[in-house]
Amino acid sequence: MAPVLGFALVAALGLGLFGVMRPKSFFALGMLVMLLERTLALHVPGGAVDYLDEIFVAACAVLFPLHRLARKKALRGLPGQIPMTAFLLAGVASSIINAVPFGVAGQGMLLIAKGFILAWGVAQLDWLHEDLRRLAKQSAAVAITLILGAVVNFLFPGPWSSIVLAGQGYGGRFGLTPVTSFFQHPGYFGTVMALSCLAALAHASVFRVSKTTMFIIVGSLVAAFWSARRKIFVGLAAAVATLGIRLRWTPLLVIALVGLPILLIVAWGAVANIVVYTYAEYFVNPDAVARVRLTIDSVGIAANALPFGAGFGRFGSAVARQNYSPLYYQLGYPNVWGLGNTEESGTFLTDTFWPAIIGETGLLGTIFFIAILATIFRLFFRLTKQTADWDRWLGLVGVAWSVQLLVESVAGAVYTAVPTFALFFAVVGIAAARGQMTHANHLADKLPEDKERRKMFSRSSS
């Protein structure tokens, strides 16, 4: 045991030093791990991998501020800090009123706050235009790898499932056989592909359209469709339409408005199956649908505890599932399919996001959380008005991702689950840094300490 602990300590110190000395490389490596954390968990026993996201968030929140302070710079704030603080206070008050155990309430609060902690840590770094360009290239390489992985997965589903998913597989949906590429679940793969498609569309609207960009757009769009997830389809349509309206870019509006009828005609069989299935699921017997039941009950809980909620870790969250909230017994959830008190029978306890906000923090918390998302959207929107190309691209990515994930939040815990929380809030942190650098009138190419780096970058590019 002692040698293992010694090795772990040395490794932690080494990673900590790496994070302080090369924070952006540490960030890129950590984001790649976040992307594949769930898949890694299938191959590493003991459950240690499940805590990698919390470890990464903590590392960013400690190491990146240290890096900034070492350069004798003041720490940055994060847009939305005031409503975020008010939201947490509403949750804490709800927890105290309902006598939620400290450990449970603490876990629940950290679960919802970890994205904002990550964003704050990332915002402490000075993200230059060359950094955004490098991130875009790295992200493009990852997207291409995921698309190619999906192709191999589609052609050889059996061997792929055995090697990548450790034998885990998924049945067909709406006449489609879902692909997962390097992900543990087709839903996560589909969402990441949707985000990849939107980032590539934003890039094409700001810079020239290259073959690589077109490959990512088309490949990601097909992969997202093949995930057979309705929330992803709707989110993509809304996000693409938002980009088209913001840019007044006719091709995007054509994709969103004309492409939909074409899709209905070409894939009518699958679309018809989706419509019939959705109607039967949500309108024939809605009380039997997990996310509908959770949403209705969360409103009832908030109404009874007005203006507060049941407290952190008590309803709709992963913590409430892990500890199986006493409220679930009162509501009869052990007898509802997908909401049971075992690993197998409780698979849908976190099948949506908003019941956790409404049920745990009440009306006050819900209002403050919506204010947080509005503040973040405003941050992204402001960046779309910048003259610098990379700032505009970053802002457009943020606007599109905000719409995509807001739609998906109705049917998934996107703001707290890996990998979506890490992807979204990392972009929030970078955008916050760029916004404040622009506001302070010392953009990347005007920072004295970065002039030499910019010259070196220009020479290496040429």
Tens-place pLDDT, residues 59-116: 999 999 999 999 999 999 999 899 999 999 999 999 999 999 999 999 999 999 999 9
Query: What would the pLDDT profile of 255-269 be if each residue is shown by its tens digit?
Result: 555 555 665 555 555
Would you state the pLDDT for residue 324?
Answer: 92
Query: What would the pLDDT profile of 146-186 be if each residue is shown by its tens digit?
Result: 999 999 998 998 888 888 876 676 666 656 677 889 998 88
Would you state the pLDDT for residue 327?
Answer: 94
Q: CA angle, corner 397, sides to 193 and 141, nearest 5?
A: 50
* Contacts for 421 with CB less than 8 Å, ≥ 6 apart: 53, 114, 115, 118, 414, 415
Percent of the chain with pLDDT over 90: 55
Would you state the pLDDT for residue 264?
Answer: 57
Would you state the pLDDT for residue 291?
Answer: 82
* pLDDT classification of 462: cutoffs 50, 70, 90: very low
| CA-CA-CA-CA torsion sign (227, 233, 234, 239) | positive
What is the number of other CB atoms lying within 10 angstroms of the CB of residue 340?
A: 18
Q: Which residues pair with 176 in a beta bridge?
A: 173
Whether the model clears a pTM of 0.85, i.e. scores above it, the answer is yes
Q: Which residues pair with 173 in a beta bridge?
A: 176
* pLDDT classification of 459: cutoffs 50, 70, 90: very low
